[in-house]
């Protein structure tokens, strides 16, 4: 299969793990260039990871050597970057969230469709070993019909915005920045949501605390709801309670539990690729499920400080195979749009005090099982990459 010539746009924190993985793990990707609005940032990553070309964003858009753009810019600039690249005829993979409003996302989806281009959207943690194993457990009926669920995550998002400064802008609240992993996982496991009812509270005005990073900084308030408590009715019938609290402390109480007619599945942390799932049946001991899929987040090929971020890039690689095979990709534009419609629906319901009905839909096929081997420092990939190819 011909490799897909790819450029990364946005050379900040998360680009470290993307560039390392795109260069080493996925034989379908040919990483030809990196670009950033700040040329020094692009130059630094090119030198650090051995990428042969540094481009400006306009050069990447105009280059016939680039087929696929991987957008790793902050959420509030996604719309402009994605639009520019689609208009230039590039396929686009974007980090989450697709944009910061559903209206912008709808416009980009329509543009991609009109141009016959792929638009793929993170979170791609849903293609990791943890969530794909959970999906297999559900698809094979291990807990019967899902009746309900519970999803919880908490942090001190305003404090975290001191270090990750892009979080101070639109799309920086905990629901958009981290809750999205829980929404993505729920969608992958249960399908589309029909309606949403929620209560919310704003993020606090935040006084800078890490003075060494914030000398002279004014207080800020992340726009949107810092806390959202919601009920989601899925089209499959499941009722799921969601609590995202960004106004508390950084002692994360991750919970993602699905209750079924035959058993209970405790799903591993969806903000990682290798969250372990456990199964509960009546009158038996809780039991851990072995992974049925690869991409468990273990990154053993020459260690870097960013390996914690796991197998990011797997969604872009799966999309590259989809491009060559002429089939829909799993983390496609409809998935990205629906994720955003759920998040925005929760905020709209909280401010209007009404139930919000959602109108977008999506479908996501599970991956074939595939094993990721850490043998020989991860160079031996076993059949995990084959699982990305239909």
Residues forming contacts to ligand NAD in the complex (CB under 6 A) are 9-15, 36-38, 41, 57, 72-75, 77, 81, 95-96, 164, 166
Bridge-based pairing state of the strands 4-9 and 29-35: parallel
Q: Which residue is nearest to ligand NAD (CB)?
A: 12
- Closest to ligand NAD by CB, 166 vs 371, is 166
Residues 6+ apart with CB under 8 A from 115: 86, 87, 89
- Closest to ligand NAD by CB, 138 vs 340, is 340
CB of 60 to ligand NAD, least distance (A): 9
CB of 175 to ligand NAD, least distance (A): 13
CB of 13 to ligand NAD, least distance (A): 4
- Closest to ligand NAD by CB, 108 vs 238, is 108
Phi/psi at 336 (nearest 5 deg)? -60, -40
Bridge-based pairing state of the strands 264-266 and 278-280: antiparallel
Distances (CA, A) of 177 to 62, 85, 92, 126: 31, 23, 20, 16
Residues 6+ apart with CB under 8 A from 309: 14, 16, 17
CB of 174 to ligand NAD, least distance (A): 12
Cis-peptide, bond into residue 97, ω within 30° of zero: yes
CB of 117 to ligand NAD, least distance (A): 19
Three-state DSSP class for residue 247 = strand
CB of 279 to ligand NAD, least distance (A): 29
- Closest to ligand NAD by CB, 15 vs 21, is 15
- Closest to ligand NAD by CB, 7 vs 9, is 9
Bridge-based pairing state of the strands 119-121 and 225-234: unpaired
- Closest to ligand NAD by CB, 12 vs 369, is 12
Is residue 117 a contact partner of residue 91, using CB atoms and an 8 Å limit? yes
- Closest to ligand NAD by CB, 36 vs 334, is 36
Distances (CA, A) of 178 to 154, 207, 258, 272, 343: 9, 22, 19, 11, 11
Bridge-based pairing state of the strands 193-202 and 356-357: antiparallel
CB of 74 to ligand NAD, least distance (A): 5
């Amino acid at each position: 299969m011909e490799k897909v010539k790819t450029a990364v746009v946005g050379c900040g924190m998360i680009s470290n793990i993307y560039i390392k993985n795109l260069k080493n793990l996925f034989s379908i990707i040919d990483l030809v260039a990196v670009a950033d609005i700040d040329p020094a940032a692009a130059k630094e990553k090119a030198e650090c990871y051995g990428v042969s070309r540094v481009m400006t964003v306009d050069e990447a858009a105009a280059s016939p050597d680039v087929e696929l753009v991987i957008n790793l810019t902050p959420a509030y600039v996604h719309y402009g970057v994605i639009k520019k690249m689609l208009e230039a005829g590039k396929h686009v993979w974007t980090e989450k969230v697709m944009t910061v409003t559903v209206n912008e996302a709808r416009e980009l989806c329509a543009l991609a469709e009109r141009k016959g281009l792929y638009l793929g959207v993170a979170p791609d943690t849903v293609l990791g070993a943890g969530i794909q194993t959970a999906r297999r457990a559900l698809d094979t009926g291990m807990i019967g019909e899902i009746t309900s669920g519970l999803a919880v995550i908490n942090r001190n998002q305003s404090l975290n915005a001191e270090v990750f400064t892009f979080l101070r802008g639109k799309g920086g609240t905990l629901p958009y920045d981290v809750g999205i992993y829980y929404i993505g996982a729920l969608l992958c496991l249960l399908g589309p949501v029909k309606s949403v009812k929620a209560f919310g509270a704003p993020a606090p005005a935040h006084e800078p605390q890490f003075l060494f990073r914030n000398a002279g900084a004014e207080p800020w308030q992340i726009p949107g709801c810092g806390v959202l408590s919601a009920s989601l009715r899925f089209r499959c019938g499941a009722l799921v309670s969601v609590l995202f609290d960004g106004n508390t402390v950084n002692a994360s109480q991750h919970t993602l539990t699905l209750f079924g007619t035959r058993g209970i599945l405790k799903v591993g942390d969806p903000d990682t690729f290798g969250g372990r799932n456990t199964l509960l049946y009546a009158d038996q001991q809780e039991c851990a499920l072995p992974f049925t899929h690869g991409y468990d987040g273990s990154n053993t090929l020459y260690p870097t400080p960013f390996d914690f971020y796991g197998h990011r890039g797997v969604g872009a690689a799966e999309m590259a195979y989809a491009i060559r095979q002429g089939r829909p990709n799993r983390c496609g534009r409809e998935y990205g749009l629906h994720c955003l419609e759920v998040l925005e629906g929760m905020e709209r319901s909280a401010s209007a005090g009404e139930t919000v009905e959602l109108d977008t839909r999506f479908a996501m096929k599970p991956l074939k099982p595939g094993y990721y081997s850490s043998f020989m420092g991860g160079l031996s990939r076993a059949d995990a990459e084959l699982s990305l190819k239909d």
